[in-house]
Chain A
Amino acid sequence: MYSEKVMDHFMNPRNVGEIQDADGIGEVGNARCGDIMKMYLKIEDGVIVDVKFKTFGCGSAIASSSMATELIKGKTIEEAMEVTNKAVAEALDGLPPIKMHCSLLAEQAIKAALYDYAKKNNIEIKGLENFDPQADVHDHDHEHA
C-alpha cells in the first residue's frame, strides 16, 4: 500500500523530537481526526538551521512529517514557503489518494511554525498574510467520507 520511501521514513523518521528554545512552533490537525503534527523551528538569519517534529497519526502522517523536515532543513524561509503538499508526497514517491491529507497537514505544519516565528518577531512572511493556523485540513475530506 505504501512506497518503500514512506515505509523508510515511517520506520526511521528523521528529525524526531523537540527544540527547547525553538523560534517557531506550529501545531496542526486534531486528535479527533486521528492526526496531530507539531513542528519546531530554529531560525538564524532567515535560514532554518534546525527542525524537529512530533506526530500523532498513521504511517503516512509520520512519514510526511519526517519528509517535510528534510525538505526544509537548511533552507531559507522563502524556500520553505515553497514546499507544498505535492512536493512532500512526490518526495515520498507518492501517497495513496486517501492519505493525501497527511501531506497537506505537513505543509500546514511548516506554515504554522513559520507563522508563529513571524508573529513572535513581528515580521511579515510573504504568503502567510491570510494563513489561519487553526484551519482544519480535514474539512474537505469529510465531505467525501
Chain B
Amino acid sequence: MKKYIYMDNAATTPVKQEVLDEMLPYFNVNYGNPSSIYTLGSKSKNAISIAREKIAKAINADAREIFFTAGGSEADNWAIKGIAYANKNKGNHIITSKIEHHAVLHTCQYLEKQGFRVTYLDVDQYGLIDLEQLKEAITDDTILISIMFANNEIGTIQPIKEIGEIAKEKGIYFHTDAVQAIGHIKIDVDELNIDLLSMSAHKFYGPKGIGALYVRRGVKIDSLIAGGGQERNKRAGTENVPGIVGMGKAIELAYENLEEKNAKLIKLRDRLIEKIFEKIDYVRLNGHPTNRLPGNVNVCFEFIEGESILLSLDMVGIAASSGSACTSGSLEPSHVLLAIGLSHEIAHGSVRLTLGDFNTEEEVDYVAEKLAEIVSRLRSMSPLYEKIKEEK
C-alpha cells in the first residue's frame, strides 16, 4: 500500500467533487456581486438564498436565522461577544466549559478583561460536563451558556438537550459550537433548545473559509463586523458566494444517508480501537467509549511522545494529529486532555485518528499494524518504558 492514508478528518476534510462542481461557476461565470441589481448580481443572490435554505433545513431552522461567516472561529467569536455586548444591561456572567475550542476559550478570556465574569465548568473523565454544576453556576447575572456540541479532540458528545432545557427554563441564551458535530450528527435546534449554533463547512467536505452562525429569531445580538448591509445588517462584507454555494451543497450531501454513513463509520472506528488495544499494551482510550463522534479515535500510548508518533506515521503515509505539547507550538499538552484528568506525561503520548467518508477497513487495519510497529520502536528508545520493564 503506497497511497496516502488521511485520518485527520477532524482537522479538515477534502471538498467533495459534487461540491466543487457546484462552486466553480461562481468564480468566473456567475461572478456578480449579490448586492448588484443587474441579472448577474441576482444570480449570485439567488444562489445564496438556495444555500441558506439548505443549511436552515438541515438544522430545522428558518433561512432568516442563518448568517454566513468566514468560518467556525468567527461564528464563535460573534456569538459570544455579540451576546455579551448586546445583553450587558441584563448581566455580565457567561458559563462555558474547560474543554471548549480556543475560539470560545480565548473569546471568553478576552471578555473577562472587559469586565465580564466567566465560569469554566469542569468535565469528568469522559469529557462530559456535570449538569448539576451547570445549574449551580447559574446566577441572576448569567446571560449566556456556551457549551460545545462535540469535542474536537476526544469526540465526546455533550448532553445538549438537557443543557438546552436548563437554559430555556432560566431564560438564558444557549450557544453551542457545533463545528465538529454538524453534518455528522442529526441536529434540530428547536428540539434541543439551541439559540445560537456555530458551524464550519470544511469539516463536512465543504470549502475552507466559510461558516455560519444560526441565531434564533428574537435573540438580541450585536454585530461583530461593521460595514455594508449584507446578511440583513448583521454581518457586513461581500458574500463569499462560491463558498456559500459549496457549504449548501456539502450540508445537503452530509445529511443524505446519514445513518447509513454513521453506521459504517462507527464500525470502522470501533474496529480501529479494538485493533489498537489488541496489538498494543499501556494504551488508553480518551473520551466517552460510546457517546462520541462516529469517526473519532483518541488514544494515549504511555512512555512515548505524540509528535514522534505523528512523524513516524507520516513516514509511512498516514496523516493523524496529537494533543502533545510538541505539536501545539507551546510546552503544555492539550487543555482537553488535562481537563479529563490525564497527567502531563500521559497527555504527551496522545494520538487522534479521525475517520471520514473515504476511509476503508483495509486502511484501518494498515494503520493499526503500523501504529503497533511505531509504538514498539519508540518504546524501545524510551527510558520510561525501560523502567516499567525493570519493575515487572
Contact assessment for A32 and B382 in the assembled complex, using a CB-CB cutoff below 8 Å: no
Contact assessment for B308 and A62 in the assembled complex, using a CB-CB cutoff below 8 Å: yes
A54 to B381, CA, bound (A): 5
Number of residues of chain A lying within 8 A (CB) of chain B: 30
Contact assessment for A36 and B308 in the assembled complex, using a CB-CB cutoff below 8 Å: no
- The proximity string for A residues 130-145 relative to B, scoring 1 for CB distances below 8 Å and 0 otherwise, is 0000000010011001
CB distance from A62 to the nearest CB of B (A): 6
Contact of A34 among B312, B333, B386 (CB under 8 A): B333
Stretch at the interface among A11-19, A41-49, A67-75, A115-123: A11-19
A138 to B325, CA, bound (A): 12
B306, B307, B330: most-surrounded residue (chain A CB, <10 A): B307
Q: With A7-B311, A10-B311 in contact, is A31–B384 under 8 Å at CB?
A: yes
A112 to B319, CA, bound (A): 37
A104 to B30, CA, bound (A): 57
A89 to B382, CA, bound (A): 21
Contact of B384 among A10, A13, A18, A36 (CB under 8 A): A36
Q: With A7-B311, A54-B383, A56-B384 in contact, is A33–B344 under 8 Å at CB?
A: yes
A57 at interface, CB cutoff 8 A? yes
* Least CB separation from A99: chain B residue: B326
Query: Contacts of B329 on A, CB cut-off 8 Å?
Result: 98
Contact assessment for B383 and A27 in the assembled complex, using a CB-CB cutoff below 8 Å: yes
A16 to B380, CA, bound (A): 9
Q: With A34-B325, A56-B303 in contact, is A62–B331 under 8 Å at CB?
A: no
Contact of B383 among A13, A56, A58 (CB under 8 A): A56
Contact assessment for B345 and A145 in the assembled complex, using a CB-CB cutoff below 8 Å: no
CB distance from A40 to the nearest CB of B (A): 10
Query: Contacts of B344 on A, CB cut-off 8 Å?
Result: 31-34
A38 at interface, CB cutoff 8 A? yes
Query: Contacts of B308 on A, CB cut-off 8 Å?
Result: 10, 57-59, 61-62
CB distance from A102 to the nearest CB of B (A): 9
CB distance from A41 to the nearest CB of B (A): 15
Query: Contacts of B325 on A, CB cut-off 8 Å?
Result: 33-34
Query: Contacts of B307 on A, CB cut-off 8 Å?
Result: 58-59
Query: Contacts of A34 on B, CB cut-off 8 Å?
Result: 305, 324-326, 331, 333, 344, 348
List 29 A-B residue pairs with CB atoms under 8 Å apart, sorted by A's residue number.
Answer: A16-B380, A31-B345, A31-B348, A31-B384, A32-B343, A32-B344, A32-B345, A33-B325, A33-B331, A34-B305, A54-B381, A54-B383, A54-B386, A55-B383, A56-B304, A56-B305, A56-B381, A57-B308, A58-B305, A58-B308, A58-B311, A58-B326, A59-B307, A59-B326, A61-B308, A98-B329, A141-B331, A145-B330, A145-B332
Q: Which 9 A-B pairs have the closest CB atoms?
A: A58-B326, A58-B307, A31-B345, A38-B383, A54-B383, A34-B348, A32-B344, A56-B382, A59-B311
Given A33-B331, A56-B382: 7 more A-B contacts, CB < 8 Å = A34-B324, A54-B386, A57-B326, A58-B307, A58-B324, A62-B308, A98-B329
